[in-house]
Structure 1
């Protein structure tokens, strides 16, 4: 229900703002503002998005929780969509989402309202050794083996 209200209310707000701003400064300056905010916003989205991608990669490399860089990336993507949508209200919300303290506050607000449940058995990790792969195995000995076609006939159970 609240989504329907948003889809009705946002265009009404935008139309009212276009009428008021256009009446105050004229048609061409109003259109110029819309185009300029889209250009500036897309440049900001690109630079901040690249920064968050590097933070995300670093969190994966360091085996840290990637939740915050992922959330920031999603908010930056949403900000880009808002900034490319013509309108003053959507531009204001889009530019606000490009301000890191605003994103941090939005992230904290959402995090307080979302309950994350983890499941599964935690496995020991070896962050100090990048060449270690954890795994489980079971040795199966069915007796003498026939050649499978994938090995040479002279390869025994131990190889050469």
Structure 2
């Protein structure tokens, strides 16, 4: 897993640099810098809004006596999306926005649930309860 993650980080960084250079040649450096700053600011505002919305939904679920399972997955997706938006790069920003927008986040959450259920079924993840 570490090797795959390391490889993805190297490849993503190389792609981001190539896009910076290409856009800098097509437009100019100021356009690229403005794009980086704009996506960071928009991403921060969207992450804050989505984070508070998810936190309020989690509070409601807990007050109703239900576990906030969907909200936990939403919160993790929002956290990863926000981190990706704070890293400079247009590919990471696109992935970050995908994780922050609820309509595009839903299929990703379904896939994560499927993977987690499979891991639980295989015994890769064990749950210990204290009751």
Q: 1:78 aligns with which of 77, 80, 104?
A: 80
**What SS does structure 2 have at the residue aligned with 1:65?**
coil
Higher gyration radius (CA): 1
Q: 2:104 aligns with which of 90, 102, 105?
A: 102
**1:46-70 deviation line (CA, Å, top 9, x unaligned):** 0110000001111111122311101
| Structure 1 segment 12-91 matched on structure 2, within 5 A | 12-91=14-93
Gap regions ≥5 residues in structure 1: 123-160
Are the structure 2 counterparts of residues 47 and 11 from structure 1 closer, same or farther at C-alpha, using a change threshold of 3 Å? same
Gap regions ≥5 residues in structure 2: 121-125
Which 4+ residue blocks in structure 1 deviate beyond 6 angstroms? none
Are the structure 2 counterparts of residues 120 and 30 from structure 1 closer, same or farther at C-alpha, using a change threshold of 3 Å? closer
Residue of structure 2 equivalent to 1:92 = 94
Residue of structure 1 equivalent to 2:123 = none
State how far apart, in whole Å, the 2-side matches of 1:93 and 1:119 are. 34
State how far apart, in whole Å, the 2-side matches of 1:59 and 1:36 are. 34
TM-score calculated relative to the size of structure 1: 0.71
State how far apart, in whole Å, the 2-side matches of 1:106 and 1:95 are. 13
Structure with more contact order per residue of length (Cα contacts < 8 Å, sep ≥ 6): 2
State how far apart, in whole Å, the 1-side matches of 2:52 and 2:20 are. 32
Question: What's the RMSD between the two structures over aligned residues?
Answer: 1.7
**What SS does structure 1 have at the residue aligned with 2:65?**
coil
